Amino acid sequence: MDENEKYRELFFEETDEHLENLNDGVLELENDPENMNTIDSIFRSAHTLKGMAATMGYETMAKLTHKMENIFEFFKNQTVKVDTDSISLIFDCLDELSEIVESLRDETDFDSSKVTELITRLEAVGGSVSEEPLNQVEEATSDELAFPSTLLSEEDIHLMDELDNTEYTSYGISIRLDKDCTLKGPRVFLIMEKLSEVGEVTFSFPDTETLEQGEFEQDFHVLLVSENTADEIKENILTNSDIEMVNVISGEAIFEEEETIIVETKVEQQETDTKEKKKKVTKHEQQTIKVDLAKLDTFMNLVSELVVYRTRLENISQNDSKNDIKEPLTEVARITSELQDLVLKIRMQQVSVVMNRFPRVVRDLAKDLNKEMTLIIEGEDTELDRTVVSELSEPLVHLIRNSADHGIEAPERRKELGKPVEGEIKLTAFQQGNRVIITVSDDGKGLNPEVIKESAERKGIDTEGLSDKEILHLIFHPGFSTAKEITNVSGRGVGMDVVHSKITNLGGTIDLHSKVDVGSTFTINLPLTLSIIQSLMVKVSGEVFALPQGAIEKVVEVTNQEIIQVHLQEVYKYQGMAIPVIRLQEVLGLEPAKEFNSNPHLIIVLLGKKYYALMVDELIGQQEIVIKKLGQELRHLKKYLGATILGNGDITLILDTNVICSEESVSSI
């Protein structure tokens, strides 16, 4: 990867974070227009974003961000009022900035006319209020930024002496970057490119690699050999942004202590007392590092293989009479477990990364649909494998848009029903065993099975014999919609099938409960991780299967007499409840065991609020397994999460208890 591509990736990572912070901050500002801390925060994000765009040479983006930054400055000075119109304009700018970033990421063109229109609107908000140029600097004298002459080697000094009788001059150049310059590496790279146009850099402190990695504070120094004058070199350097101060002196002056140093200093944008106030504000931030996901995947694959070989060693140890292998095996087991826990934690990410985007979505939907609604988020600190988190945005957006458009009623209708005028959409997440449950619910009009049934029949879908629950699930059918009108929000028959497909591909399930005039709840059930899990190995009809331990509550050995028949369903009495018994041999379509088992085992699992009893012939024991996805040809086998390789080299299928215990599976027994 070349330097430019590396800096582009860093730019996009930082930009995504700042755009998210700006969206969140502007939402907070709309709810609390007098909050100066929020205004300061979004001003700093906009200022940083502007500098980053300018650093990368994305002038259109830098100009739009600069104009938006001015509005935040006007908010701070209270020369412009924070109102619905100004907030909506800022959101329009943020949307356009997101579009620009995506175009830059994909290296495609974007419509600059919209940027021009937004800049015109931004300038109209400020009216006659004066604003500062994008890169204003002024001259000042200072000896604060001195060239470190003591760091020059004898070779450097000898070279400077040799230039005395030539047209070339050596210059000691000291540069201080802005404190809020986030892309220091790319900025230094561009400054070095500019310097190469007017001469040759023969020395730098810190060294070039450290500079291009951005691993320094604010100041750096170079020795330049050039035919140009000091003023020309300064002018060349100051074509870059994010520079607070520049000091250019001749080689002779480097060693003269009383040399007067002329510097270029960027005009401070904020008053000194404001700066002092900011210094007192502290915020606890999580110490994090960015890790390439491909590296994590490789790390996980290595750990997965290590787990397999550890299991094989354990098998060898059990069959070997010698004790020599046991001590190192114990250490391998300990190290592997610690390594596994670590990499799993590294891969985990809070769902807040996705959920925090949705207050803005609901705000815009309320405006577009002329409805009053609020979004309540709970459990945003719940963690999932980052691969799952990255795929959650699209299905959750569809569900929230569905609740806003089809669920929440118009204010007048809510009044008639005796409901609060403001509708409520609730987004929750929580961990349950080795699964994460995410719900999207609303207190709207709910789904009417009769309306769905009529719509399905018009589309030629056979609904005969379907229960109300099965009819409700028809909304996940491709192209299905009950909307009478197509709007910008929904009604085209796409969306819910995408939700179902996405969740299924992630190894999850989606359920729906709805009541007319009360509301609807979509429940998404997802695996906590897609890699290594604890499992219970069982035998059914002579075949070995793995059951994920996350949902297992208890294992009991029973007699056939303890299993009774109630309304054509076998049940087992557990904690005073009659819970359904699922014979895995029948559900999986296996032949009965050759030998009759009078004392089978029941695996009691808890899914949601319901208990189920899975009947198996024999327990083998607990084992840690690596999940391997089934190939495309076997994806239709929904009852299996995947497969794993056992310590003896055998391949075993992993059962999906969520699918097996679904109502469809139980009713088919």
- The residue out of 252, 280, 308 marking a domain boundary is 280
Active site residue 47: yes
- 504 confidence band (pLDDT: 50, 70, 90): confident
Which stretches of 323-385 are DSSP H helices? 326-347, 352-355, 358-369
| pLDDT, position 420 | 95
Residue 168 lies in a domain: yes
| pLDDT, position 99 | 92
Task: State the residue for tokens 């990368």.
Answer: 56
Half-sphere exposure of 150 (CA within 13 A, CB side): 2
The CATH number that applies at residue 256 is 3.30.70.1110
Residue 287 lies in a domain: no
pLDDT at 342 over 50: yes
Least confident of 101-105, 532-536, 537-541: 532-536
Q: Residue 353: is it exposed, middle or buried by C-beta count within 10 angstroms (0-12/13-18/19+)?
A: middle
Indicate if 383 and 517 belong to the same structural domain. yes
Half-sphere exposure of 180 (CA within 13 A, CB side): 16
Beta partners for residue 248, in sequence order: 173
The CATH number that applies at residue 323 is 1.10.287.560
The DSSP H or E segment spanning 582 is: strand 577-583
Query: Which of 402, 473, 601, 658 is the catalytic position?
Result: 402
- For residue 222, the tally of other CB atoms under 10 A from its CB is 22
Active site residue 567: no
Query: Which of 18, 21, 47, 240 is the catalytic position?
Result: 47
Task: Give residue 421's domain range.
Answer: 351-527
Q: Quick check: 613 and 574 in contact, CB under 8 A?
A: yes
Residue 533 has phi, psi (to 5 degrees) of -135, 160
pLDDT at 17 over 70: yes
Indicate if 344 and 356 belong to the same structural domain. no
Indicate if 386 and 516 belong to the same structural domain. yes
Least confident of 4-8, 155-159, 512-516: 4-8
Active site residue 402: yes
Q: What is the DSSP letter of 156?
A: H
Percent of the chain with pLDDT over 90: 26
pLDDT digits over 561-583, tens only?
888 988 888 999 987 888 999 99
Query: Mean pLDDT, to the nearest integer, of 328-357?
Result: 80
Query: Which of 30, 69, 73, 96 is the catalytic position?
Result: 69
Indicate if 597 and 645 belong to the same structural domain. yes
Q: Which of 597, 508, 605 minimizes the C-alpha distance to 554?
A: 605
Indicate if 345 and 411 belong to the same structural domain. no
- 81 confidence band (pLDDT: 50, 70, 90): confident
- The residue out of 507, 527, 547 marking a domain boundary is 527
- The residue out of 65, 93, 126 marking a domain boundary is 126
Q: Which of 661, 426, 439, 655 minimizes the C-alpha distance to 535?
A: 655
Residue 99 lies in a domain: yes
pLDDT digits over 444-488, tens only?
999 999 999 998 888 888 888 888 888 898 888 776 766 555 455
Indicate if 362 and 407 belong to the same structural domain. yes
- 585 confidence band (pLDDT: 50, 70, 90): very high
Query: Mean pLDDT, to the nearest integer, of 386-397?
Result: 87
Indicate if 212 and 86 belong to the same structural domain. no
Residue 132 lies in a domain: no
Residue 330 lies in a domain: yes
Residue 643 lies in a domain: yes
- 490 confidence band (pLDDT: 50, 70, 90): low
Residue 207 lies in a domain: yes
The CATH number that applies at residue 638 is 2.40.50.180
| pLDDT, position 291 | 67
Indicate if 384 and 518 belong to the same structural domain. yes
Indicate if 310 and 447 belong to the same structural domain. no
Indicate if 366 and 493 belong to the same structural domain. yes
User: Does the model's pTM come out above 0.75?
Assistant: no
Residues 526 and 438: their CA atoms lie apart, in Å, by 8
Indicate if 563 and 660 belong to the same structural domain. yes
CA distances, 636 to each of 257, 352, 630, 659, 660 (Å): 80, 32, 9, 12, 14
Query: Mean pLDDT, to the nearest integer, of 258-266?
Result: 41
Indicate if 146 and 271 belong to the same structural domain. yes
Percent of the chain with pLDDT over 70: 83
pLDDT at 254 over 80: no
The DSSP H or E segment spanning 5 is: helix 3-31
The CATH number that applies at residue 80 is 1.20.120.160
Least confident of 156-170, 390-404, 415-429: 156-170
Residue 288 lies in a domain: no
The CATH number that applies at residue 379 is 3.30.565.10
pLDDT digits over 314-331, tens only?
777 666 655 667 776 777
Please count the structural domains in the chain: 5
pLDDT at 503 over 70: yes
